Amino acid sequence: MIRNKRIAVAFVAVSLGAATAACSSGNKQEAATSGTSAVPATTAARTGTTVATGIEVTDAWARTSPMNAKNGAVYMKLTSAGEDRLVGASVAPTIAAKVELHETVMADMSGSSTTMGMGADTSTTMGMMAENTSSTMGMGSSMNEGEGAGGSTMQMKPVDAIELPAGKTVELKPGGLHVMLIDLTKPLETGSSFELTLRFEKAGTKTVTVTVKEG
């Protein structure tokens, strides 16, 4: 108990970014659409006749694969004018043997979800924490329950589909949703690019160019 009391984790403006988006397992919808903003109607209108099923893909990139890396990941921003689902993806066999949709999630292996019970001696701090939590931490505040963040592990899992709510930009980004390239045929080199074909439930397929960068 004494030892527990000694543990104060000072969080000073850590941007938890993607990690926090992925940390609430079982809350995929939220993770998938976090950090998004509604696409202005005018943007959708500009796509003309494809409004109903128009898919916009921007910033598609993959990290330069480290030497000896078997797998890679592709990230991008996806916006569908109409509600749709990304259900699959493929690349040429010269890039990778297999492609899967994956999500990295935070899993709490310690099983404890609440550790906020503090003794009376720390009530002052407690109030301070609550205030700061609401103002600066947002959803990140749940990340380090348990033993700092050590009780939580990050884990990848395949997903059947990535939901694309109408007009919302869904970001595939490090620590969250990504297109996983399995068994890379050759290393992904900085500055190169390759084609990735995305398969949507309603909109059909769309091929995008993925830029390889250090990231």
Which positions lie near another protein, rule CB under 8 A? Answer: 3-20, 63, 65-73, 102, 104, 107, 109-110, 112, 115-116, 118, 122, 124-125, 128-129, 132-133, 136-137, 143-157, 174-175, 178, 180-182, 214-215
Smallest distance, another protein to C-beta of residue 26, A: 15
In terms of Cα–Cα distance, which of 36, 15, 4 is closest to 138? 15
Dihedral angle sign, alpha carbons of residues 41, 22, 85, 91: positive
Phi, psi of 118 (to 5 degrees): -110, 155
d(CA 213, CA 194): 12
Q: Smallest distance from the beta carbon of 107 to another protein, in angstroms?
A: 6
Give me the least distance between CB of 47 and another protein, in Å please: 31
Q: What is the 3-state secondary structure (H, E, C) of 57-102?
A: EEEEEEECCCCCCCCEEEEEEEEECCCEEEEEEEECCCCEEEEEEE
Nearer to another protein, 70 or 186 (CB): 70
By beta-carbon proximity to another protein, the closer residue of 63 and 85 is: 63
- Minimum CB separation of residue 162 from another protein in Å reads 14
Residue number with CB closer to another protein (16 or 86):
16
* Closer to another protein by Cβ: residue 69 or 92: 69
For residues 123 and 26, what is the distance between their CA atoms, to the nearest angstrom? 32
